[in-house]
Amino acid sequence: MIYTSDHGDNLSARGLWGKATMYEESAGIPMLIAGKGVPSGAKCATPVTLCDVTATILDAVGAADAIAELRLPGVSLLGLAGRPANDRTVLSEFHTYGPDAFYMLRQLRHKYVYYVGAPPQLFDLEVDPEELVDLGTHSAHAGQRAVFEARLRAILDPQLVDALAKGDQARMADHYGGFEMLRQREKMAFTPPPTAEKH
């Protein structure tokens, strides 16, 4: 069994409300797994991602070979459960609510946030778990930031991926009548039930 959900909300931490940040309380999601071979009550500090869910399901049903065959980006959580923390790097990205994207690389101790068109952020989560001390522009951490940026660019081109995402968004908006029409529609804070129709 795998239980997960949407990510969190800032809820006024650092004076911020909403979800559009890479701070832990916003970017983090709960993920629980249970089943054969999964130790009960164990907590795993290794960074994981929703990309791991597909790999975990394949592993659980005896098709672990397909993870490599399909070149999936995730790993099976069954192999991480109950083991010492692994300093793994996971990626998160955000492409809405503004003109530019941002990307996060999260490791066991450090978090790096790359902004298209703005200075980066860097946090040492071991000594600063509340992410109050941004090392993103400190000269003493320039080498560490360069390593993180190189790692990010080895995964993707930040500007190109954002342009592709914004292109997809524009095509979807055009399909539904364009951005202006969408902005004029009534805003809802919830998804209406299937039987609720506007008259």
Q: What is the DSSP string of 35-67?
A: STTPPTT----S---THHHHHHHHHHTT-THHH
Do 183 and 102 belong to one domain?
yes
Residue showing tokens 């960074």: 47
Do 96 and 167 belong to one domain?
yes
- Local confidence pLDDT in tens for the 199 residues of the chain: 898 888 888 778 888 877 888 999 889 888 899 988 888 888 888 999 999 999 999 999 999 999 999 999 899 999 888 888 889 999 999 997 666 899 999 999 999 999 998 999 999 999 999 999 999 999 999 999 999 999 999 999 999 999 999 999 889 889 888 888 877 776 655 555 566 555 4
Predicted pLDDT at 182: 76
Residue 195 lies in a domain: no
Reference 33, options 63, 59, 67; nearest CA is 59
Helices (H) and strands (E) in the chain, counts: 6, 6
- Residue 123 region by backbone torsions, left for phi larger than 0, else alpha for psi between -120 and 50, else beta: beta
Q: Among 68, 86, 104, identify where a domain stops.
A: 86
Do 113 and 173 belong to one domain?
yes
Predicted pLDDT at 199: 46
Domains in the chain, number: 2
Do 29 and 43 belong to one domain?
yes
Do 82 and 27 belong to one domain?
yes
- Residue 81 region by backbone torsions, left for phi larger than 0, else alpha for psi between -120 and 50, else beta: beta
Do 67 and 28 belong to one domain?
yes
Do 2 and 49 belong to one domain?
yes
Residue 48 lies in a domain: yes
Do 128 and 66 belong to one domain?
no
Q: Can you give the residue range of the structural domain that contains 31?
A: 1-86
* CATH code of the domain containing 150: 3.30.1120
What is the pTM assigned to this prediction? Answer: 0.84
Separation of alpha carbons 8 and 29, rounded Å: 6
Do 81 and 106 belong to one domain?
no
Predicted pLDDT at 54: 94
Q: Among 46, 70, 86, identify where a domain stops.
A: 86
Residue 93 lies in a domain: yes
Question: What's the gap between Cα 160 and its chain centre?
Answer: 18
Residue 110 lies in a domain: yes
Residue 173 lies in a domain: yes
Q: Among 86, 109, 133, identify where a domain stops.
A: 86
Residue 47 lies in a domain: yes
